[in-house]
Amino acid sequence: MNWSWTFFFEYLTNGFMFRGAWTTVWLSVISMTIGLGLGVVAAMMKMYGNAAVRYIAEFYIWLFRGTPVLIQLIIIYTGLPQLGIRLNVIESAILGLALNEGAYLAEIIRAGIMSVDKGQNDAARSVGMTWRERMYLVILPQATRTIIPPLGNQFNGMLKTTSLASVISMEELMRNAQMLAQINFRVLEVYSVAALWYLLLVSIWGLIQQRIEAHYEKPFGPAAAISPEAAKELKKAMQKAGATKV
């Protein structure tokens, strides 16, 4: 079959492909957002829960990291109705992608939290901060710098992983390309256009990710911005934590 520039440019400007690309974007954003929430919960359960809670978190991470997302999507879409749980295509795609992503993000978040020096936690505890205050005011802000780069890479991968949702008839970019290919049988042209769309989406996200990483690489603030009262409290905390100088 000879290459046809006519069909290539026709697909390139086809509104059906544009709608598929837009579906890929919002499907990625929603799935990633839910997956991030699941990842935070699973990471906290694994790090700070009791034995039963840790086992549940470890089982979830083990299951969804150890099986292909394609199989997970098929089981959710075709298996849950047999248990009386009926989800449409969109709900099944979001659930499958979010559950899979959450398992990977849980390990990323756990590693980011563990990268924060233990002395930070000890100093915050010594000034009477609760676990919640230590986590949200001391640990997570510092862990964010470690978490952001792999988190951005995961979203990059999510943009392409959504193509697997085409197997359950989710009309995203890949599914729309498949349907167009069946009309005129110009497979190479339509998939080349799909590849360009994925490249465009990933490239745009790459620029956004660079801006986000640059923002979080900035220092938290100059030492001069600390009030005298806060400086005294910090000095006491460091002394209690075992520091000899400030």
Which token pair is 195? 């590849």
Structure pTM?
A: 0.84
Which tens digit of pLDDT belongs to each residue from 220-233? 554 444 556 655 66
The span from the CA of 187 to the CA of 208, in Å, is 32
Whole-number Cα distances in Å, 196 to 84, 153, 189, 213:
40, 19, 11, 25
Structural domain contains residue 232: no
Q: Domain tally for the chain?
A: 1
Helices (H) and strands (E) in the chain, counts: 11, 0
Domain harbouring 179, CATH code? 1.10.3720.10
Q: Which residue range(s) make up the domain with 200? A: 5-220
Q: Is residue 139 part of a domain?
A: yes
**Strand, helix or coil at 7?**
helix
Average pLDDT, the chain: 89
Using left for φ > 0, alpha for ψ between -120 and 50, and beta otherwise, residue 3 falls in beta
Residue pLDDT, tens place only, 125-176:
888 888 888 888 888 888 888 899 999 999 999 999 999 999 999 999 999 9
Residue 55, domain member (yes or no):
yes
Q: Are 151 and 108 in contact (CB under 8 A)?
A: yes
Task: Quote the pLDDT of residue 140.
Answer: 85
| Residue 229 resides in a domain | no
Residue 226 lies in a domain: no
pLDDT of residue 145: 87
pLDDT of residue 8: 94
Residue 236 within a domain: no
Q: Is 228 part of a structural domain of the chain?
A: no
pLDDT computed for residue 238 by the predictor? 56
Q: How far apart are the first and last CA of the chain?
A: 74
Per-residue confidence (pLDDT) for residue 220, from 0 to 100: 54
d(CA 124, CA 160): 41
Residue 245 resides in a domain? no
pLDDT number for residue 233: 61
- Residue numbers of the chain with a pLDDT score lower than 50: 222-225, 243-246
